């Protein structure tokens, strides 16, 4: 089979390009060596944000594009994306009030905003927003960005791509590709050769490995791997708001309410030289994040409060910066298209937030190499399950299926939106959904994930299609592993 586009990598960028291209009528194949979102795209801070700190780095193009995406994505996936209020405490001796005010003024005005609140200066004394903080914090600012279930956004991109005709295969590594007669002939590990008119290298941290190892090519652009880690602690404070904490080293660290019972603390910027994959938090990063949180919080976080951590590699476009914290967060493409030969577009950098726009730009760059196809269409297009107003949908789900109970109805509405109906079908009790593996995760839900969302192993389910790994007991997880055979 000859595909128009072969995409390497099932992270946010590869899946967003697959969705966009399939919707334009192109024939698309995407291969992912492990699970969807098993690379960087499940290890982010999970914010759809403009990136307040990037203003200091004069990244106005990126901030403008990212800010504009916030409301668009909020409307397109209201189940997995929701507004999040941030509190930025002013710290004497760090950024002065006028500078914070100026930054937030720009943040408020760099892109159109209808649903998200603008910034305000607030007193932290006698205010619930200031209650978790040490007494020395008198004033701060509030502003809004959005929360996103990052790995679910990846899967919804893939699902939408599939429903528009793309073929997505997980557990499939591209090992080699060569150019022949104006086409790519690609070898997939353990599989047949496939042909494509154009290749997209969206391998994230592996982007250079694919260029040099699989394509035997060279790129004028290079990737800079920067590790970032997060801690998950038992809930450190009450309230639905997050904190953006300024560090004396000029960096910022977020503390964010997470999965109802926890607080997420992150992140770090650590230059990384090794092979991509399998990264984990170091003692030094744990100390750094704990110190950062404890500098601000009245009730300090102790080692015993930490229940989980995760790390990922930012596949940044190497702009030659000396300091890992200031390497550009914007994306760049390398389009290698020698006269008469099939093209490959390699993606460097990119955020969860900007993946939809990145996909549009990638297809603009590839347009002349592909058969005639449709125009950009994803602006305003809803993701699977997002065709509803969230609060109304939750009320109706609870009313129609009272047996779910409030907590499970909320979890299912958040995870699947209206797609939950597909496995709840005619169920009148939880018993109708088959075996309950714990936390209301039933055989019916598992079957839906396996048949529709490419879930093959227990970790796919526990840590990427959901975060049930934080909630299910070791025994429950063991039983799920035994049932799924791995």
Ligand X SMILES: Cc1cc2nc3c(=O)[nH]c(=O)nc-3n(C[C@H](O)[C@H](O)[C@H](O)COP(=O)(O)OP(=O)(O)OC[C@H]3O[C@@H](n4cnc5c(N)ncnc54)[C@H](O)[C@@H]3O)c2cc1C
Least Cβ distance, residue 11 to ligand X (angstroms): 2
Applying the rule CB under 6 A, the residues between 299 and 318 that interact with ligand X are 312, 314-315
Pick the binder of ligand X from 5, 6, 26, 44 (CB under 6 A): 44
Q: Do 383 and 48 meet the contact criterion of CB atoms below 8 Å apart? A: no
Applying the rule CB under 6 A, the residues between 378 and 417 that interact with ligand X are none
Residue 261-300 contact track with ligand X, rule CB under 6 A, x = bound: ------x---------------------------------
The smaller minimum CB distance to ligand X, of residues 267 and 442, is found at 267
Residue 159-178 contact track with ligand X, rule CB under 6 A, x = bound: --------------xx----
Does 151 sit near ligand X (CB under 6 A)?
Answer: no
Pick the binder of ligand X from 3, 6, 9, 103 (CB under 6 A): 9
407 CB-contact burial (10 Å; exposed 0-12 / middle 13-18 / buried 19+): exposed
The smaller minimum CB distance to ligand X, of residues 40 and 328, is found at 40
- Only one of the segments 81-89, 125-133, 198-206, 359-367 lies at the binding site for ligand X (rule: CB under 6 A); that segment is 198-206
The smaller minimum CB distance to ligand X, of residues 78 and 440, is found at 78
Buried b (16+ CB within 10 A) or exposed e, 75-97: ebbbbbbbbbebbbbbbeeebee
- Closest-by-Cβ residue to ligand X is 11
Angle at 343 between CA 338 and CA 347, to 5 degrees: 120
Pick the binder of ligand X from 205, 257, 386, 417 (CB under 6 A): 205
Q: Do 122 and 141 meet the contact criterion of CB atoms below 8 Å apart? A: yes
Does 147 sit near ligand X (CB under 6 A)?
Answer: no
- Only one of the segments 17-25, 121-129, 202-210, 375-383 lies at the binding site for ligand X (rule: CB under 6 A); that segment is 202-210
**Phi and psi at residue 52, to the nearest 5°:** -55, -40
The smaller minimum CB distance to ligand X, of residues 30 and 420, is found at 30
The residues binding ligand X (CB under 6 A) are 8-14, 31-34, 38-41, 43-47, 49, 173-174, 202-206, 210, 214, 228, 267, 312, 314-315, 347, 350-353
């Amino acid at each position: 089979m000859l595909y128009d586009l072969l995409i390497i990598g099932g992270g946010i960028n590869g899946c967003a390009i697959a969705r966009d291209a399939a919707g334009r009528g192109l024939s698309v194949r995407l291969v992912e060596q492990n699970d969807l979102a098993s690379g960087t795209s499940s290890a982010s801070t999970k914010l759809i944000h403009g990136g307040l700190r990037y203003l200091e780095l004069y990244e106005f193009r990126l901030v403008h594009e990212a800010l504009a995406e916030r409301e668009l994505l909020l409307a397109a996936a209201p189940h997995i994306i929701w507004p999040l209020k941030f509190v930025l405490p002013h710290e004497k001796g760090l950024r002065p009030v006028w500078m914070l005010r100026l930054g937030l003024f720009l943040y408020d005005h760099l892109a159109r905003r209808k649903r998200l609140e603008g910034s305000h200066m607030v007193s932290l004394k006698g205010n619930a927003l200031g209650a978790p903080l040490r007494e020395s914090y008198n004033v701060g600012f509030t502003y809004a960005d959005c929360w996103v279930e990052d790995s679910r956004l990846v899967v919804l991109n893939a699902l939408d791509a599939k429903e528009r005709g793309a073929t997505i295969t997980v557990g499939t590594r591209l090992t080699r590709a060569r150019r022949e007669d104006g086409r790519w002939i690609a070898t997939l590990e353990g599989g047949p050769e496939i042909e494509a008119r154009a290749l997209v290298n969206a391998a994230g941290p592996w982007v250079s490995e694919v260029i040099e190892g699989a394509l035997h090519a060279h790129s004028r652009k290079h990737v800079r791997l920067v590790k970032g880690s997060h801690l998950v602690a038992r809930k450190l404070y009450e309230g639905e708001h997050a904190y953006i904490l300024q560090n004396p080293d000029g960096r910022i660290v977020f503390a964010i309410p997470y999965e109802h019972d926890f607080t997420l603390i992150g992140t770090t910027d650590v230059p990384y030289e090794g092979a991509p994959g399998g990264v984990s938090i170091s003692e030094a990063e744990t100390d750094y994040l704990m110190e950062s949180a404890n500098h601000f919080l009245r009730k300090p976080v102790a080692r015993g409060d930490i229940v989980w951590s995760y790390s990922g590699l930012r596949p940044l476009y190497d702009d030659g910066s000396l300091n890992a914290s200031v390497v550009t967060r914007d994306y760049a493409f390398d389009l290698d298209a020698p006269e008469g030969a099939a093209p490959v577009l390699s993606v460097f950098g990119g955020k969860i937030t900007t993946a939809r726009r990145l996909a549009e730009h990638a297809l603009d760059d590839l347009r002349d190499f592909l058969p005639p196809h449709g125009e950009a269409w994803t602006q305003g297009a809803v993701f699977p399950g997002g065709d509803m107003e969230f609060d109304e949908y939750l009320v109706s789900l609870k009313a129609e299926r009272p047996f779910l109970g409030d907590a499970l109805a909320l979890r299912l509405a958040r995870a699947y939106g209206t797609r939950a109906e597909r496995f709840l079908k005619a169920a009148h009790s939880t018993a109708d959904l088959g075996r309950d593996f714990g936390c209301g995760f039933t055989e019916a839900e598992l079957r839906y994930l396996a048949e529709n969302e490419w879930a093959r192993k227990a970790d796919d389910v526990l840590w990427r299609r959901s975060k049930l790994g934080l909630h299910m007991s070791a025994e429950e997880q063991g039983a799920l592993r035994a049932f799924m055979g791995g």
